[in-house]
Amino acid sequence: MNTGIVGSGFVGATAAYALVMRGVGRRVVLVDQNRSRAEAEADDIRHAVPFAHPLEITAGDYPDLADCKVVILSAGVGQKPGETRLELLGRNARVFEQVVPSVLQHAPNAVLLVATNPVDVMTHIAAHYAAQFGVPSSRVLGSGTTLDTARFRTIVGRRLNIDPHHIHAYVLGEHGDSEFLPWSLVTVGGIPLEKFCNDGKNSICPEDYAEIEERVRKAAYRIIDGKGATYYGIGSAIARIVEVILQDERSILTVCTPMKEVAGVGNVTVALPNLVGGDGIIETLFPALTQPETEALSASARVVRSVIDELKL
């Protein structure tokens, strides 16, 4: 079970490291335009193998992706001074125009997992180019709000003094400022949050919701302000998604994939709970939301769709 990673920057390399730490798969291939960077990262991670799991870590080129079940796309360019978000997106779209065909030429059956930001739009772009090779959109998914969901569960768990593994909650929509937190879906050990808080010693009141939402939405900004980039959280999220695919776990994750319609918005890519297995997306789940939550999902989908329209794919 092999995994390819195209783009060996902070996110790609950290994802490779997380795969080793979790013991996911048997081999990881790092591909980067800067071959020396890929080789250096592969060497560094390989030296961690004796302390973790026996994975083979190598640097390679696109032909070396031939046996990969999953290929992570973390390639992209940074924003130049004075460059608009749309201009940056246009340049990253051109990167994917080269990368996606290069991957599929050698790994035509691979599941493509997009990590490049803005991940919703970049996943939509990747699916657009993959479709030209006959690849269904179900085999193209982005990390979506997997990390945001983990942040949400972590904050709620700390507030309630409960292991976040037992907090069920989702962040939906764009992986960005328009994402929203549907509080109506939050449960603690299967008990709706409101009931749990009424009966328990520790509680989260509706008055606390806005503060928690702000902490989830602005988490990346705070980290970037302090250390320049985020990579541990997203690297771990990517490793978890890869694990689900390689082991055909049929787990529910808030990844993103192109959808015909979301909350009244057509042909858009945003994060929803998705059943994920060995071939990518098995089914997209549409949880029962309140009317304000449905409106928030629609608003978030419109934000992403407006950017896709501007790119004129």
Catalytic residues: 175
Sheet order of strands, 68-73 included: 56-60, 27-31, 2-6, 68-73, 111-114, 140-142, 256-262, 265-271
Quickly list H helices, 61-165.
85-106, 119-131, 146-160
Amino acid at 286: F
Question: Among candidates 70, 134, 55, 64, which has minimal Cα distance to 101?
Answer: 134
Alpha-carbon span 91 to 101, nearest angstrom: 16
Alpha-carbon span 23 to 143, nearest angstrom: 20
Alpha-carbon span 185 to 167, nearest angstrom: 11
Distances (CA, A) of 47 to 3, 11, 24, 81: 18, 19, 17, 37
Kindly report the number of other CB atoms within 10 A of residue 293's CB atom. 20
Are the beta carbons of 68 and 101 closer than 8 angstroms?
no
First-to-final CA distance of the chain: 34
Are the beta carbons of 13 and 45 closer than 8 angstroms?
yes
Are the beta carbons of 97 and 280 closer than 8 angstroms?
no
